[in-house]
Protein backbone atom coordinates (compact mmCIF):
# COMPACT_ATOMS: atom_id res chain seq x y z
CA UNK A 1 0.00 0.00 0.00
CA UNK A 2 1.18 3.50 -0.77
CA UNK A 3 2.16 5.70 2.17
CA UNK A 4 -0.57 8.03 3.39
CA UNK A 5 -0.14 11.70 4.08
CA UNK A 6 -1.96 13.64 6.57
CA UNK A 7 -1.70 21.56 0.13
CA UNK A 8 -3.53 21.91 2.57
CA UNK A 9 -9.25 36.58 -8.60
CA UNK A 10 -10.03 38.80 -6.82
CA UNK A 11 -10.11 42.22 -7.50
CA UNK A 12 -11.10 44.73 -5.07
CA UNK A 13 -11.94 48.18 -6.18
CA UNK A 14 -9.14 49.94 -7.95
CA UNK A 15 -8.94 48.17 -11.27
CA UNK A 16 -5.64 47.89 -13.03
CA UNK A 17 -2.44 49.29 -11.55
CA UNK A 18 0.69 49.33 -13.68
CA UNK A 19 3.84 47.73 -12.37
CA UNK A 20 5.64 51.06 -12.52
CA UNK A 21 2.97 52.68 -10.35
CA UNK A 22 2.77 49.96 -7.75
CA UNK A 23 4.18 50.77 -4.32
CA UNK A 24 5.12 47.61 -2.48
CA UNK A 25 3.90 47.57 1.16
CA UNK A 26 6.49 47.64 3.90
CA UNK A 27 7.61 44.53 5.75
CA UNK A 28 6.43 46.21 8.94
CA UNK A 29 2.90 46.32 7.54
CA UNK A 30 3.12 42.69 6.50
CA UNK A 31 4.25 41.75 10.01
CA UNK A 32 1.27 43.59 11.48
CA UNK A 33 -1.01 41.60 9.20
CA UNK A 34 0.78 38.42 10.28
CA UNK A 35 0.23 39.34 13.92
CA UNK A 36 -3.49 40.02 13.46
CA UNK A 37 -3.94 36.72 11.67
CA UNK A 38 -2.02 35.02 14.44
CA UNK A 39 -4.35 36.53 17.04
CA UNK A 40 -7.33 35.18 15.10
CA UNK A 41 -6.08 31.76 14.08
CA UNK A 42 -3.01 30.93 16.12
CA UNK A 43 0.39 29.94 14.81
CA UNK A 44 0.19 26.80 12.68
CA UNK A 45 3.23 24.56 12.77
CA UNK A 46 4.40 22.69 9.71
CA UNK A 47 5.19 19.00 10.08
CA UNK A 48 6.99 18.18 6.83
CA UNK A 49 6.61 14.53 5.86
CA UNK A 50 9.66 14.28 3.55
CA UNK A 51 7.89 12.32 0.82
CA UNK A 52 8.14 14.53 -2.29
CA UNK A 53 6.62 12.07 -4.77
CA UNK A 54 3.55 11.58 -2.59
CA UNK A 55 3.19 15.35 -2.19
CA UNK A 56 3.51 15.88 -5.92
CA UNK A 57 0.70 13.40 -6.62
CA UNK A 58 -1.42 14.65 -3.76
CA UNK A 59 -1.15 18.24 -4.96
CA UNK A 60 -2.06 17.32 -8.54
CA UNK A 61 -5.09 15.57 -7.08
CA UNK A 62 -5.97 18.73 -5.12
CA UNK A 63 -6.21 20.88 -8.24
CA UNK A 64 -9.69 22.35 -8.73
CA UNK A 65 -11.31 20.32 -5.99
CA UNK A 66 -11.85 20.17 -2.24
CA UNK A 67 -9.54 18.64 0.36
CA UNK A 68 -12.13 15.92 0.87
CA UNK A 69 -12.13 14.92 -2.80
CA UNK A 70 -8.36 15.12 -2.95
CA UNK A 71 -8.11 12.71 -0.02
CA UNK A 72 -10.67 10.36 -1.56
CA UNK A 73 -8.63 10.20 -4.75
CA UNK A 74 -5.33 9.78 -2.91
CA UNK A 75 -6.77 7.00 -0.80
CA UNK A 76 -8.03 5.32 -3.96
CA UNK A 77 -4.51 5.28 -5.35
CA UNK A 78 -3.10 3.99 -2.07
CA UNK A 79 -5.55 1.11 -2.00
CA UNK A 80 -5.04 0.16 -5.63
CA UNK A 81 -1.24 0.37 -5.99
CA UNK A 82 1.65 -0.89 -3.84
CA UNK A 83 4.07 1.94 -4.73
CA UNK A 84 4.62 4.90 -7.07
CA UNK A 85 6.43 2.79 -9.65
CA UNK A 86 3.27 0.73 -10.03
CA UNK A 87 1.22 3.90 -10.57
CA UNK A 88 3.71 5.16 -13.15
CA UNK A 89 3.65 1.88 -15.06
CA UNK A 90 -0.10 1.32 -14.89
CA UNK A 91 -2.49 1.99 -17.79
CA UNK A 92 -4.10 5.42 -17.52
CA UNK A 93 -7.52 3.78 -17.35
CA UNK A 94 -6.56 1.95 -14.15
CA UNK A 95 -5.26 5.15 -12.53
CA UNK A 96 -8.40 6.93 -13.61
CA UNK A 97 -10.57 4.30 -12.00
CA UNK A 98 -8.61 4.50 -8.74
CA UNK A 99 -8.94 8.27 -8.43
CA UNK A 100 -12.50 8.54 -9.75
CA UNK A 101 -14.02 9.11 -6.25
CA UNK A 102 -12.21 12.47 -6.19
CA UNK A 103 -13.55 13.72 -9.52
CA UNK A 104 -11.80 15.09 -12.63
CA UNK A 105 -10.17 11.69 -13.02
CA UNK A 106 -9.97 11.85 -16.82
CA UNK A 107 -7.85 14.99 -16.63
CA UNK A 108 -5.76 14.04 -13.62
CA UNK A 109 -4.89 10.42 -14.40
CA UNK A 110 -2.76 11.23 -17.48
CA UNK A 111 -1.18 14.18 -15.63
CA UNK A 112 -0.12 11.96 -12.75
CA UNK A 113 1.26 9.25 -15.00
CA UNK A 114 3.19 11.78 -17.12
CA UNK A 115 4.64 13.56 -14.09
CA UNK A 116 5.76 10.27 -12.55
CA UNK A 117 7.38 9.26 -15.82
CA UNK A 118 9.16 12.60 -16.10
CA UNK A 119 10.75 12.60 -12.65
CA UNK A 120 13.16 9.88 -13.70
CA UNK A 121 13.58 6.12 -13.52
CA UNK A 122 14.70 6.19 -9.88
CA UNK A 123 11.81 8.45 -8.83
CA UNK A 124 14.22 10.15 -6.47
CA UNK A 125 13.35 13.75 -5.63
CA UNK A 126 15.36 13.99 -2.41
CA UNK A 127 17.70 16.45 -4.12
CA UNK A 128 14.93 19.06 -4.13
CA UNK A 129 15.49 19.74 -0.44
CA UNK A 130 18.94 21.24 -0.86
CA UNK A 131 18.93 22.34 -4.50
CA UNK A 132 19.04 26.05 -5.31
CA UNK A 133 15.48 27.34 -5.29
CA UNK A 134 15.43 28.32 -8.97
CA UNK A 135 16.66 24.87 -9.97
CA UNK A 136 14.14 23.04 -7.81
CA UNK A 137 11.17 25.17 -8.84
CA UNK A 138 12.29 25.10 -12.46
CA UNK A 139 12.38 21.31 -12.43
CA UNK A 140 9.02 20.92 -10.74
CA UNK A 141 7.25 23.37 -13.02
CA UNK A 142 8.70 21.58 -16.05
CA UNK A 143 6.64 18.49 -15.13
CA UNK A 144 3.31 17.81 -16.77
CA UNK A 145 0.40 19.41 -14.92
CA UNK A 146 2.66 21.20 -12.43
CA UNK A 147 2.46 24.98 -12.10
CA UNK A 148 3.87 27.36 -9.54
CA UNK A 149 1.28 26.60 -6.88
CA UNK A 150 1.75 22.85 -7.09
CA UNK A 151 5.55 23.18 -7.09
CA UNK A 152 5.44 25.48 -4.07
CA UNK A 153 3.17 23.04 -2.21
CA UNK A 154 5.67 20.26 -2.81
CA UNK A 155 8.48 22.33 -1.34
CA UNK A 156 6.49 23.55 1.67
CA UNK A 157 4.75 20.38 2.75
CA UNK A 158 7.61 18.01 2.01
CA UNK A 159 10.55 19.99 3.42
CA UNK A 160 9.15 23.11 5.08
CA UNK A 161 10.98 25.32 2.61
CA UNK A 162 9.90 28.98 2.51
CA UNK A 163 7.33 29.15 -0.27
CA UNK A 164 3.86 30.70 -0.29
CA UNK A 165 1.62 28.79 -2.70
CA UNK A 166 -0.88 31.20 -4.21
CA UNK A 167 -4.25 29.52 -4.25
CA UNK A 168 -7.56 31.27 -4.78
CA UNK A 169 -7.80 32.36 -1.14
CA UNK A 170 -4.29 33.77 -0.95
CA UNK A 171 -4.81 35.58 -4.24
CA UNK A 172 -8.13 37.08 -3.22
CA UNK A 173 -7.08 38.22 0.27
CA UNK A 174 -3.63 39.40 -0.78
CA UNK A 175 -5.25 41.59 -3.43
CA UNK A 176 -7.77 43.02 -0.98
CA UNK A 177 -5.07 43.79 1.58
CA UNK A 178 -2.84 45.38 -1.03
CA UNK A 179 0.01 42.90 -0.72
CA UNK A 180 0.38 42.93 -4.49
CA UNK A 181 -1.24 44.70 -7.41
CA UNK A 182 -4.98 44.08 -7.61
CA UNK A 183 -4.57 42.80 -11.15
CA UNK A 184 -1.47 40.71 -10.46
CA UNK A 185 -1.20 37.25 -11.97
CA UNK A 186 -0.74 34.39 -9.52
CA UNK A 187 2.94 34.24 -10.58
CA UNK A 188 3.46 37.92 -9.79
CA UNK A 189 1.56 37.53 -6.52
CA UNK A 190 3.83 34.62 -5.60
CA UNK A 191 6.97 36.67 -6.31
CA UNK A 192 5.64 39.63 -4.35
CA UNK A 193 4.71 37.56 -1.31
CA UNK A 194 8.14 35.93 -1.24
CA UNK A 195 9.69 39.40 -1.32
CA UNK A 196 7.45 40.65 1.51
CA UNK A 197 7.10 37.84 4.01
CA UNK A 198 9.94 36.81 6.28
CA UNK A 199 10.96 33.27 5.28
CA UNK A 200 10.39 31.91 8.77
CA UNK A 201 6.79 33.18 8.61
CA UNK A 202 5.92 31.84 5.18
CA UNK A 203 4.11 28.66 6.27
CA UNK A 204 2.16 30.45 8.98
CA UNK A 205 1.23 33.28 6.62
CA UNK A 206 0.08 30.89 3.91
CA UNK A 207 -2.01 28.73 6.22
CA UNK A 208 -3.62 31.64 8.05
CA UNK A 209 -4.55 33.39 4.81
CA UNK A 210 -6.24 30.21 3.63
CA UNK A 211 -8.12 29.89 6.90
CA UNK A 212 -9.10 33.55 6.75
CA UNK A 213 -10.34 33.02 3.20
CA UNK A 214 -12.54 30.18 4.33
CA UNK A 215 -13.89 31.84 7.46
CA UNK A 216 -14.23 35.59 6.90
CA UNK A 217 -12.59 36.91 3.77
CA UNK A 218 -14.77 34.85 1.51
CA UNK A 219 -15.76 35.96 -1.98
CA UNK A 220 -18.46 37.93 -0.17
CA UNK A 221 -16.43 38.96 2.87
CA UNK A 222 -17.58 39.51 6.45
CA UNK A 223 -15.53 42.64 6.99
CA UNK A 224 -17.59 43.76 9.96
CA UNK A 225 -16.19 40.79 11.93
CA UNK A 226 -12.59 41.06 10.67
CA UNK A 227 -9.71 42.21 12.88
CA UNK A 228 -7.81 43.30 9.78
CA UNK A 229 -10.41 45.79 8.68
CA UNK A 230 -8.63 48.90 9.94
CA UNK A 231 -5.62 48.08 7.80
CA UNK A 232 -7.60 46.88 4.79
CA UNK A 233 -8.63 49.46 2.21
CA UNK A 234 -11.13 47.02 0.75
CA UNK A 235 -12.74 46.48 4.15
CA UNK A 236 -12.82 50.20 4.91
CA UNK A 237 -14.45 50.98 1.62
CA UNK A 238 -18.14 50.55 0.97
CA UNK A 239 -17.50 47.72 -1.45
CA UNK A 240 -18.06 44.87 0.97
CA UNK A 241 -21.45 46.08 2.07
CA UNK A 242 -24.63 44.57 0.79
CA UNK A 243 -22.81 41.45 -0.18
CA UNK A 244 -20.66 42.81 -2.91
CA UNK A 245 -18.66 42.75 -4.91
CA UNK A 246 -18.21 39.00 -4.74
CA UNK A 247 -15.31 37.42 -6.57
CA UNK A 248 -14.87 34.07 -8.20
CA UNK A 249 -14.02 31.21 -5.88
CA UNK A 250 -13.11 27.56 -6.03
CA UNK A 251 -9.74 25.88 -5.68
Residues 6+ apart with CB under 8 A from 52: 125, 126, 128, 154, 158, 159
Query: How would you label 195-204 residue by residue, b for 16+ Cβ within 10 Å and e otherwise?
Result: ebbeeebbbb
Structure letter (DSSP) for residue 251? -
Residues 50-69 within binding reach of ligand SF4 (CB under 6 A): none
Nearer to ligand SF4, 100 or 218 (CB): 218
- Whether the CB-CB separation of 231 and 32 falls below 8 Å is answered with yes
CB of 157 to ligand SF4, least distance (A): 25
Nearer to ligand SF4, 111 or 229 (CB): 229
Rule CB under 6 A: is residue 177 a binding residue for ligand SF4? yes
Rule CB under 6 A: is residue 171 a binding residue for ligand SF4? no
- d(Cα 37, Cα 209) in Å, to the nearest integer? 8
- Whether the CB-CB separation of 91 and 189 falls below 8 Å is answered with no
Rule CB under 6 A: is residue 235 a binding residue for ligand SF4? yes
Among 70, 176, 181, 190, binds ligand SF4 (CB under 6 A): 176
Nearer to ligand SF4, 51 or 201 (CB): 201
Please give the residue ranges that form the binding site for ligand SF4 (CB under 6 A).
173, 176-177, 216-217, 221-223, 226, 228-229, 232, 234-235, 240
Amino acid sequence: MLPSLGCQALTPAGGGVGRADWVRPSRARVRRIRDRLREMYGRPVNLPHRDPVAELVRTILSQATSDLNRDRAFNGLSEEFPDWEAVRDAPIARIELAIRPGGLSRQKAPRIKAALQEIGEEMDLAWLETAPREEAMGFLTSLSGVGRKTAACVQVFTWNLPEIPVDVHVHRIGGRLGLFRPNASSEEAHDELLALVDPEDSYEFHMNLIRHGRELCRPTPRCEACALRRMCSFGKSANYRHGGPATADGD
